Amino acid sequence: MDMLPLILATIFTAATPLLIAALGEHVVERAGVLNLGVEGMMIVGAATGFAAAVLSDSSVFGLLAGALAGMALSAVFGVLVIFFATNQVATGLALTILGLGLAGLIGQNFVGQPRGAIAAIEIPLLKDIPVLGKAIFTGDPVFYLSLVLVALVAFGLNRTRIGLLLRAVGENHTSAHSLGLPVRRLRFWAILFGGLMAGLAGAYLSLIYTRFWSPGMSAGRGWIALALVVFAAGHVWRLVLGAYLFGGITVAQLHAQAGAIALPSQLLSALPYLMTIAALLVLSLSGRKGGGAAGSLGQPFVPER
């Protein structure tokens, strides 16, 4: 019981970058665009954010720089798939490869350099609640920001005009265009938002979760975020559930390795990714394969001239 608050806090920290990146991709897919470059945007955000934090001696500036770096990379993706109608799958995969190489270049002089922790925010009275108080109400600022973003994305997509227009574009871009909706503009802004979120998630990895930079530190989290969007099937609350579930699995395998369980460490490290495959398999067998996906997802839109 004494260790439970620490374990819960670690789970929340591990889940936060997954949740932020998945929220961004959720908005992008609601607009009818499939961006497989989340991993590339995350790793560029991690490298840029850490480099900016070291050079400016400000982790807050680093988080902002990482988010903007992810958005800049997503802008490249957006121009290609929106205005040149390139294949979204191939372009997203190319974006990931580009991001991995670019991140190695940006972070080559910062490998192994440590960063201090960002001061935690403590909520008076609530932090004194037994067990959950220290775990939930004594956290880093981005953790609380992620919870605010969950509420804003859910409300924005379901209760605002811009959200309804975005979903209409994603469901049937031809009908939306015939009604006079700016299909390409809405999709481009959604892609930029997704890149901003992926970059912020990457910067969180290097500046808060690990507090150092190393090549490849995203370690497939971008792909897990994509799987979470499929698992959510159009529901934001499922993104939250899935993110914390996989965050818990990640922390569990670390504790299992530390506890010297008689299993290969490689198998324990692969556990989060095996669970991702298992979750998608269960979703497929339940008859909801592709359930909740936008009707025009992955389809290029070329307006009639």
* Cα–Cα distance for residue pair 84/243, rounded to 1 Å: 34
Identify the pLDDT of residue 205.
94
pLDDT of residue 264: 67
286/153: higher pLDDT: 153
Average pLDDT along the chain: 87
Bigger pLDDT: 61 or 279?
A: 61
The answer on pLDDT for 162 being more than 70 is yes
DSSP string for residues in 12-44? HHHHHHHHHHHHHHHHHHHTT---TTHHHHHHH
CA–CA gap between residue 63 and residue 56 (Å, rounded): 12
- Among the ranges given (123-127, 183-187, 263-267, 300-304), the one the predictor scored with the smallest mean pLDDT: 263-267
What's residue 294's pLDDT?
82
Pairing of strands 121-122, 138-139: antiparallel
pTM over 0.75: yes
- Out of 14-28, 114-128, 174-188, 196-210, least confident range: 114-128
Q: How far apart are CA 247 and CA 230, in angstroms?
A: 17
The least confident of 27-31, 52-56, 261-265 is 261-265
Looking at the DSSP assignment, which residues form a beta bridge with residue 121? 139
The Cα–Cα gap between 88 and 31 comes to 13
- CA distances in angstroms from 217 to 8, 57, 81, 141, 203, listed in the order given: 22, 21, 27, 22, 11
With cut-offs at 50, 70 and 90, classify the pLDDT of residue 167: very high
Is residue 37 within 8 A of residue 95, CB to CB? The reply is yes
Q: What is the structure's pLDDT at 261?
A: 62
> How large is the average pLDDT for residues 6-18?
88
Number of other residues whose CB lies within 10 A of the CB of residue 286: 9
Other Cβ atoms less than 10 A from the Cβ of 218: the count is: 31
For residue 1, pLDDT beyond 60 = no
The pLDDT of residue 32? 93
pLDDT of the residue at 67: 97
DSSP-assigned letters across all residues of 196-222? HHHHHHHHHIIIIISSSB-TTTTTTHH
DSSP three-state, residue 179: coil
Question: pLDDT digit string (tens) for 95-144?
Answer: 999 999 999 999 999 988 888 878 888 888 778 787 778 778 888 899 99
The pLDDT > 70 percentage for the chain reads 90
Comparing 21-30, 170-179, 254-263, 268-277, the range with the smallest average pLDDT is 254-263
CA nearest 30: which of 298, 294, 301? 294
How do the domains of the chain map onto residue ranges? Answer: 4-109+135-223
Instruction: Locate 121 and state its tokens.
Output: 């925010």
The Cα 232–Cα 241 span in angstroms is 9
Predicted pLDDT at 188: 97
Residues 47 and 291: their CA atoms lie apart, in Å, by 35
Q: Mind spelling out the 3-state secondary structure of 45-113?
A: HHHHHHHHHHHHCCHHHHHHHHHHHHHHHHHHHHHHHHHCCCCHHHHHHHHHHHHHHHHHHHCCCCECC
Q: What is the pLDDT at residue 10? A: 86
**Across 238-256, average pLDDT:** 81
Fill in the amino acid letter for 179: L
Looking at residues 219-229, what average pLDDT do you find?
90
pLDDT band for position 15 (50/70/90)?
A: very high
pLDDT at position 268 is 64
Which has the minimum average pLDDT: 31-35, 218-222, 277-281? 277-281
Q: How far apart are CA 221 and CA 45, in angstroms?
A: 13
